[in-house]
Each structure stands twice: as C-alpha cells, then as structure tokens.
Amino acid sequence: MKAIIMAAGVGSRLSDAPHDPKCTLSIGTGSVISHTMDILRDKGVEPHMVIGYERNKVRAALSDYPEVVFHENPFYRATNSIGSLWIARSVITSAITKGEDLLLANADVYWTSDMLDLLRGVSDECVMLCDRTRALTGDYFFHLEDGYITEYGKKLPPERRDCEYVGISFVRASFLPTFLGHLDKLIWKEDYNMWWEDVLYDACDVHPVRGLDVDGRFWSEIDYIEDYQRILDHLGVNADAHELLLSKSF
C-alpha cells in the first residue's frame, strides 16, 4: 500500500503572518507529520509527500524517516492541491502497476492509527472519512444516501449536511485506473484551483464513493488556531497554540 500526503500549501487561514508549515507544528512528543509517519511506518505503508511551501522545513521535520519519498511542487502558490496530486502522478501509476491500494491525506490532519484499519476494513473501492458529530460546525460537508456521497461542499445547506469531511481518503487498487482517468480529465480542464478531493467528487457522480464515519475517533485538521489548540488539549499538552505558533514563526 502507498500513501500520498499533501503538504505543499501555505496554510494562510492559520495565520496571515509567515509561519512554519502546519504539518510541522509541535504536538508535544513530535510534530503532526511525524505522528502520521509513525502510523504509516507501523502499518507498513510506503509514504510519499508532496511539498512546496517551506519545503526544507518539512524535510527537516522528517529527518528521522528516511523511507519518505518527497515530490516537490514549485507551483504551490499558483495551484490548489490538485496540482500537488498531479506532481505525484507517478505514485498512482506505480500503484496501478503493482496492484496496490492508495491512501490520500492532507498533511495537517491529526488522526489515529485505527482510522487506517477502519478504511481497510470496508470493501468499497473509494472511501472518504467523515464525522457525523460535526454536521453543523465543520468546514466541508457531505450529504449521504445509504452511506454514499451524493452532495458535498462548504456551502451545503444545513438541512443537507450529514457529516464533515476529515481530510483522508482511500482508493483500492481496482479503482485506481478510473481514479487516474478522472485526475487527468480535471487537470486538462486547466482549472488549477481545484482540490485533490475534486477527483473523487468528480468520480462520485458516476461511481459510489462511501462516506465512512470515524465513529467517535478523535481527529482534527488544522485550518485555524482553534484546531491546533484542540489537538494539544486532547493530548494533554499544557501549552497555548498561539504562543507555540509564534515561537515557530520566521
């Protein structure tokens, strides 16, 4: 199994001031991204990371993980994350050749190892993790029909929201050729402001994509300083997120 972790973006919603990449923020015993790499190492997953903004700081944060393969996106200010996925296109083609499944995730998500077990435990070809407890207060929402995504978006009306998207998805080897076809189609439309998830949203119009509830498991994607504080509080780290962010600023 392979994983592509997206870490090229600036993360401007976290702070207007220059700051270290969100995935390198400390969570006490390490960084957000080192926690993710510990999960992938423990589960035997081949890790690939797409980096851009302050790429050398991400490399430095993962100096103890020589197995990580880095893919550099020099156009990170001109493209959204679909450009990063395109940069790592060779990982997808390699997984197709070898018949391997693929995990896709945003690097600024803190999650737990049993979520990977959860993803692997379902038979669906395409799965996107979601959280039914955040249907009203989240950032990006799904509407589900029989467990499958039929509507999605930041501006989905409250009455149509069933869950919030977590930032982690799973594609089985059998679907990767189709997934790659959707990626190629969207890239050649030259709308580089799309997210990598738009490949799956494009696919779900013609193929079922499951929205799998995390069922109470803790996670947090660091969009805002409050998200970072939520992780610190969950882990029992007695620190102020804003002060930690400032201490790691340029």
Can you give the pLDDT at residue 236? 96
pLDDT of residue 42: 98
Q: Which pTM was predicted?
A: 0.95
Confidence of residue 153 (pLDDT cuts 50, 70, 90): very high
The lowest-confidence range among 23-27, 28-32, 168-172, 246-250 is: 246-250
Task: Tell me the mean pLDDT in the region 51-56.
Answer: 96
Q: Residue 204's pLDDT band (boundaries 50, 70, 90)? A: confident
Check whether 250 has a pLDDT greater than 60.
Answer: no
Q: Is the pLDDT of residue 197 over 50?
A: yes
The band of 243, judged by pLDDT with boundaries at 50, 70 and 90, is confident
SS3 at position 107? coil
HSE value, Cβ hemisphere, 13 Å, CA-based, for 244: 20
- The amino acid sitting at 93 is T
Look up the CATH superfamily of 2-247. Spore Coat Polysaccharide Biosynthesis Protein SpsA; Chain A (3.90.550.10)
pLDDT classification of 15: cutoffs 50, 70, 90: low
Query: What residues are paired with 72 via a beta bridge?
Result: 51
Positive/negative CA dihedral, 54, 56, 60, 66: positive
Residue 168 · residue 45 · CB < 8 Å: no
Q: Can you say whether residue 190 is alpha, beta or left, with left for phi > 0 and alpha for psi between -120 and 50 degrees? A: left
Mean confidence (pLDDT) of the chain:
94
* Structure tokens that stand for 195 in this block: 């997210």
The domain segmentation of the chain, as residue ranges, is 2-247
Joined together, the tokens standing for residue 21 give 């990449």
pLDDT over 60 at 174, yes or no: yes
Q: What is the CA radius of gyration of the chain?
A: 17
Q: Which of 41-45, 65-69, 198-202, 241-245 has the lowest mean pLDDT?
A: 241-245
Q: What is the pLDDT of residues 88-125, one digit of tens each?
A: 999 999 999 999 999 999 999 999 999 999 999 999 99
Mean pLDDT of 224-247: 91
Identify the CA nearest to 79 among candidates 105, 46, 108, 50: 50
The HSE-up count of residue 4 (CA atoms within 13 Å, CB side) is 29
User: Regarding beta strands 220-221 and 109-110, do their DSSP bridges make them parallel or antiparallel, or are they unpaired?
Assistant: antiparallel
Q: What is the share, in percent, of the chain residues with pLDDT greater than 90?
A: 87
Q: Which 3 state secondary structure label does DSSP give 129?
A: strand
